[in-house]
Amino acid sequence: MKVKRHIIIFLFGLGVLFSSLTSCVDETFTTDPSAKLSFSVDTLSFDTLFSTIPSRTAIFKVYNKNDKALNIDMIRLSKGSDSYFRFNADGRIPGEGSVLTDIIIRSNDSLYVFVELTAHESSENMPVTVSEKMEFITNGINQEVQLRAYSQDAYIFNSHSLRRDTILSGNKPFLVFGYLHVPEGVTLTLQAGTTLYFHSGAHLIVDGHLKAIGTHEQPVVLRGDRFDAMPDVLQTPYDFLPSQWGNIYLQNYNGNHLLKHTIIRGSDLGILLIGANRNKPTLTLESSQIHSSGRYGIYSQNGNLRIFNSEISNCAESCLLLLGGTAQVTHSTIANYYMWGSRSSAAVVIANYVSQQGYLMSFPIERAVFENSIIYGSLFDELLLQSDTINNTQFNVLFSHCLIKSKESKYPYFNQILWSNASNSNGADTVFVNTRYSKENGYYNFKLIDNSPARNTANYTVAQMFPIDYDGNNRLADGNPDMGAYEY
């Protein structure tokens, strides 16, 4: 009898549990047409994307703010099987015709909808609009969310090696996956208005020669391929972020490279210039910008580097590292206010040796001259000179008429230098228009403010050799040229 009693109690408890579970799932549905859905967006917009390349996944939410459950009779794309879009609602993938049926959404509950698209080629040079409606039919009422994107046709290089001298023009952009390789003996020329978009981890590898010749109005641009923004407070575009793509390797010891009115943005390592003691490649950077690199802006090892009217800014390590070779830096702005992590390397590092496993490897600095330039940033010391005095390795360095954020030095390397107060962490505010990225101030701007110490302090004779600044302004118009790439 006791056993039977226990069984009865168990069955009663199981019945109570089953009844409780049933009451949770057996919710009353409404068929009232006035009980409508709500949506987190009216229009789901995608940033510009490349045709034939799948987009990122965008998300929106569907809400049932009614006191009773709703059965969504159908979710469908208005273009059906011809749609460029794809979706997943509440974990369910639609079948033929891009249609889902009978989706339950409980009272005061919500569900997620995930949307992607792959646009077809349009045969147009400019971006084209891709739009469609996602329809939700509930109790005979049709509600819609607009889907919209901009699709851009592009020429695609996928781990591609050029076979002959190649000229790329600006009619359509170029999208690089893996790498674009310029073999020995081949010259790649990028004409004004050309843009190369690099996918994550993609590189430009040059064993030949690189010529990028833009204009102020139509620069050559090398950047990452993401057009969307981070989900942070500032909605920071990925285009502003470092390490969105790989590196530019200039590794021909006899290379002769020219970058004029060229913008390199968001790379992992902007430019790696590699030479040897007896064979030094030449890189001329004129009226150009290298910005937001995940490591160095330019890393030059035994190179001949010529930088005029240019800006190198915001790198996780140094903006410019010279390890041997030669350099001529004139009327350029080197500014490092990197904000995406900690930084300990000075904005400019010049060294004539490297220590590896207790051995010194010599890299003679044959000649490095900085004139009418600015070396500044968020650290107390933004210039580091590393000279091997034991082996008397050549270290021929000169700074003349420059603004440098560092402790004042009495070495003979310096002539007519404006030294900043290295202990003043707010010193940057007295030099440039904007050294922070914020909602209030917008993006970085390394032009000079009214009372900047770099104003009217450049060497006039040197300025005569470079009378036009980065923006096309005449440095000599007022008779008092400014330091750096930008004339006030």
In terms of Cα–Cα distance, which of 166, 213, 168 is closest to 185?
Answer: 166
pLDDT at 96: 85
Architecture of domain 38-151: Sandwich (2.60)
pLDDT tens-place string over residues 417-460: 999 865 544 444 689 999 989 888 889 999 999 999 999 999 99
How is the chain split into domains, by residue range? 38-151, 154-465
Cβ burial, residue 210 (10 Å; 0-12/13-18/19+): buried
Rg of the Cα atoms in the chain:
30
pLDDT at 20: 38
Tokens of 274: 């590699």
Global pTM value: 0.88
**Which DSSP letter does residue 10 get?**
H
Helix (H) or strand (E) holding 19: helix 2-25
- Give the alpha-carbon dihedral of 249, 254, 260, 265, to 10 degrees: 10
CA distances from 226 to 99, 175, 239, 244 (A): 30, 11, 7, 8
Do residues 110 and 43 make contact, with C-beta atoms less than 8 angstroms apart? no
pLDDT at 15: 42
Within 13 Å of residue 463, how many CA atoms lie on the same side as its CB?
28
d(CA 136, CA 151): 26
pLDDT at 121: 93
pLDDT at 26: 53
Instruction: Give residue for tokens 């592009």.
Output: 154
Do residues 149 and 170 make contact, with C-beta atoms less than 8 angstroms apart? no
pLDDT at 184: 97
pLDDT tens for the chain, 488 residues: list them: 343 444 333 333 434 333 333 434 457 999 999 999 999 999 999 988 999 999 999 999 999 999 999 999 999 999 999 999 999 999 999 988 899 999 999 999 999 999 999 999 998 888 999 999 999 999 999 999 999 999 999 999 999 999 999 999 988 999 999 999 999 999 999 999 999 999 999 999 999 999 999 999 999 999 999 999 988 888 899 999 999 999 999 999 999 999 999 999 999 999 999 999 889 999 999 999 999 999 999 999 999 999 999 999 999 999 999 999 999 999 999 999 999 999 999 999 999 999 888 888 999 999 999 999 999 999 999 999 999 988 889 999 999 999 999 999 888 899 999 998 655 444 446 899 999 898 888 899 999 999 999 999 999 999 999 999 999 999 999 999 999 999 99
pLDDT at 429: 65
Q: Is 291 left (phi over 0), alpha (psi -120 to 50) or beta?
A: beta
Tokens of 253: 């010891």
- Give the count of beta carbons closer than 10 Å to the beta carbon of residue 456: 14
Tokens of 149: 């994107």
Beta strands in 341-449 (DSSP E): 348-351, 353-356, 359-362, 365-371, 374-377, 383-386, 395-400, 403-404, 414-415, 418-419, 432-434, 445-448
Give me the phi and psi of 9, to 5 degrees please. -65, -40
